[in-house]
Amino acid sequence: MTDKVTASAPGKLILFGEHAVVYGHPCIVTAVDQRLFVTVERNGKDTFHLSAPDLGLTAYSKTTNDLGGSGLPKAVRFIEVFYKRFLEKYPQERGIDVVTKSEFSDSFGFGSSSAATVAFAKALVELYEIDLTDKELFDFCYGAVLEVQGVGSGFDVAAAIYGGTIYYVTPGKVIETIYEEELPIEVGYTGIKADTPTLVRQVAELKRKKPRTVRGIFDQIDKVTKEAKRKLMEENFAEVGKLMVENQNLLNELGISSVELDRLNKVSMEAGALGAKLSGAGGGDCMIAVVDGKKNEVVKAMKKNGEWLDVIIGAEGVRVETDE
């Protein structure tokens, strides 16, 4: 019998289609090579014990009958809610100890919550020898993420499970790997933490006020995303770059860019990037630039006007690290 399993899942960056994806349009998302590790171990007691030092939590304990409820600390919310749902489906006599370890900061918008949920889920199903397909694991994790967060298309959960670069339609209606290699993309960070649910609600409010305009913008983002999928598969990065600029202009119309994002986009283009855009909900977090030949110049410009994040794009999806 296995007593202890460690699994890890990657962070994510959205390349095309943010916001529109919430309304049923496709997006393209890639996994980044910064991972979140979760170890689960049978403890022989009736308790759930969690230690997440990178998330500011060293000892958190509950009986397994008492899981969930409101007011859970942010760092444990996703893991605890997933565990509660897991025990409802696969009851167990005894509890577990959980330890998380993160390679990435929570503030970049790389999706630490979904990576934690996915790595924990993978470790749990491995510990109890439950056979799930990737899609079943996706549905299970996405259900828990939605219960905690209320909003979200689930693309981040898909990236954490499948890895690589994928074309995604919510709620996992389409999950298609379109590129498996590393992409020539550099990532700039604004230094400002964005609050995704607030921005998603802001766009929902704009859509309520101006339904036709916003639907028109989403339709155009849809076209740009589908075209980007083709160009990525053809490795035509010059065209991918142009499409990023188009996507950014459409996001500007939704009013979710920021001065810092616009500045990083501008300096990257001036330094020779083939295209640049914000990545994610907007309001802060990261931007991305396609580079071909001018990498050093673009990196220098990012460093001068924000922060350059040294990450590899197109990383491996969730995996079991050790099994004892």
Residue from 142, 155, 167, 189 binding ligand MEV (CB under 6 A):
155
Question: What are the start-end ranges of the H helices in 28-111?
Answer: 74-89
Sites for ligand MEV among residues 125-154 (CB under 6 A):
152-153
Closest to ligand MEV by CB, 48 vs 218, is: 218
Residue from 64, 100, 190, 196 binding ligand MEV (CB under 6 A):
196
Per-residue buried b or exposed e for 151-177, using 16+ beta carbons within 10 Å of the residue's own CB: ebbbbbbbbbbbbbbbbbbbbbeebee
Q: Is 195 known to be catalytic?
A: no
Closest to ligand MEV by CB, 64 vs 265, is: 265
Closest to ligand MEV by CB, 55 vs 281, is: 281
* DSSP category for residue 66: G
Taking CB under 6 A as the binding criterion, the range among 18-26, 90-98, 223-231, 290-298 that sits at the site for ligand MEV is 18-26
Least separation in angstroms between CB 13 and ligand MEV = 9
Nearest to 123, CA basis, from 1, 46, 8: 8
Residue nearest ligand MEV (C-beta atom): 153
| Residue 314 CB neighbours (<10 A) | 20
Least separation in angstroms between CB 165 and ligand MEV = 15
200 lines the binding site for ligand MEV (CB under 6 A): yes
Residue 59, helix vs strand vs coil: strand
Closest to ligand MEV by CB, 21 vs 123, is: 21
Is 46:70 a contact under the CB 8 Å cutoff? no
36 lines the binding site for ligand MEV (CB under 6 A): no
Those residues with Cβ within 8 angstroms of residue 323's Cβ, 6 or more apart along the chain or in another chain: 2, 4, 5, 6, 126
Closest to ligand MEV by CB, 22 vs 183, is: 22
Taking CB under 6 A as the binding criterion, the range among 17-25, 72-80, 87-95, 227-235 that sits at the site for ligand MEV is 17-25
Number of residues assigned to the chain: 324
Q: How is residue 101 written in tokens?
A: 């370890």
| Angle at alpha carbon of residue 35, lines to 74 and 84, rounded to 5° | 40
Instruction: State how far Cα 213 lies from the chain centre.
Output: 28
Least separation in angstroms between CB 281 and ligand MEV = 4
Q: Which of 3, 46, 131, 156 is catalytic?
A: 156
Site residues (CB under 6 A) for ligand MEV? 14, 18-19, 21-22, 152-153, 155, 196, 200, 280-281
> Which residues are known to be catalytic?
156
